[in-house]
Amino acid sequence: MSHADLTMEGRSAGLLAGSPFAIPTKKLAMWLFIIADTMTFAACLVAYLFLRNGTPNWPTPFKFSPSIVNVMLMTFILITSSLTMLIGLRHAKAGDKPAAFRWILITAAAGAVFALLHLREWMGLIGEGVTLFHNPWGSGLFGAAFFSVTGLHLLHVTSGVIALLVVGVRYQGGRYHADDIEILGLYWHFVDIVWMFVVPLIYLLNIAR
Amino acid sequence: MNAAEKQSSGLGKDIVIYLCLLGMAGLQIVLAYTGSAGEGLFARLLVVAGVQALIAVLFFMHLGAERRSLVVFVAVFTLFVLATMQYGWTDSFRMINGAPFAH
């Protein structure tokens, strides 16, 4: 056996070595993505709080109705969609494909309703005169900060809905497996967790009193 | 316990976690409207959100059931970066006072 063969064998052995933390590689990749995305959202929220803290005339535009009521409904829908995702995963692990696909579709529908409610909230604020650089109440930075943070979250929800539909259809067709549903579920729960911080920091700290 | 029983008991736990998360979301609304605005409210809301996130990560994302090494990796990595983002926090007070620390 030549030196080159030995080296190739050594490389193959390295490639075939077990995944770190003994979890599937795709799942590890999703965890790494979630950690990186946590940093992105944390940076946005810290920047938002920094501006809010350092700006004396920061607007507090969110009235109980319609804004906070809308946010309560959105929170209910998003947390419920996490539960429906878990139910879908349980069916997928049990090998019940039709039921799993049904629950994935329900989750995607909940995500779509969330996105529509979010757009309604945006339209309401835009209708009151909030743009990226102006608003009728105070610092012009509010619009840019608000739309950046909530827009990034909305982008994640929209991407999640598309991913749910694609993975769901491919799972139904036999190209994907229960493990893929589990990995997508991690992403969906992460989007839910981010919303748990967006609501208090963006909305509840800025309610109209 | 057969597979169907296991599945229904697991679902029961998920529903309890789901109700806890909804309850804490409701608690945030109550805190926001009953307490006065300011640092105290900020801290209370952040603590509730942190507990919500911890519960969701452990039970919905099943991190609690993963290998201990993965849990430590995710926790240390995430908390370290979140902590380092706080270094410039006091500077926001300089902005509102309009007086740089150098003066």
- B36 — pLDDT class (breaks 50, 70, 90): confident
A53 interaction partners in chain B (CB closer than 8 Å): 92-93, 95-96
Tell me the sheet residues that pair with A62. Answer: A207
Closest chain B residue by Cα to residue A42 = B82
Tens digits of residue pLDDT in A77-117: 999 999 999 999 999 999 999 999 999 999 999 999 999 99
A22 interaction partners in chain B (CB closer than 8 Å): 67
Mean pLDDT of A188-192: 97
Residue B101 has pLDDT above 50, yes or no: no
A50 interaction partners in chain B (CB closer than 8 Å): 88-89, 91-92
B90 close contact with A: CB closer than 8 A: no
With contact defined as beta carbons under 8 Å apart, do B58 and B64 qualify?
Answer: yes
Interface test with B, best of A51, A187, A193, A203 (most B CBs within 10 A): A193
CA distance B99 to B103: 7
Using CA of residue B81, residue B70, residue A153, residue B51, what is the dihedral sign?
Answer: negative
Tens digits of residue pLDDT in A113-135: 999 999 999 999 999 999 999 89
Alpha carbons within 13 A on the beta-carbon side of A1: 6
Of B3, B21, B67, the CB nearest to A94: B3
Distance from B100 to chain A by nearest Cα, in Å? 13
What pLDDT does residue A208 have? 78
Look over chain A and give the mean of its residue pLDDT values, rounded to a whole number.
89
Tens digits of residue pLDDT in A137-152: 888 889 999 999 999 9
Distance from B52 to chain A by nearest Cα, in Å? 7
What pLDDT does residue B103 have? 38
Mean pLDDT of A186-203: 96
Q: What is the predicted ipTM? A: 0.86
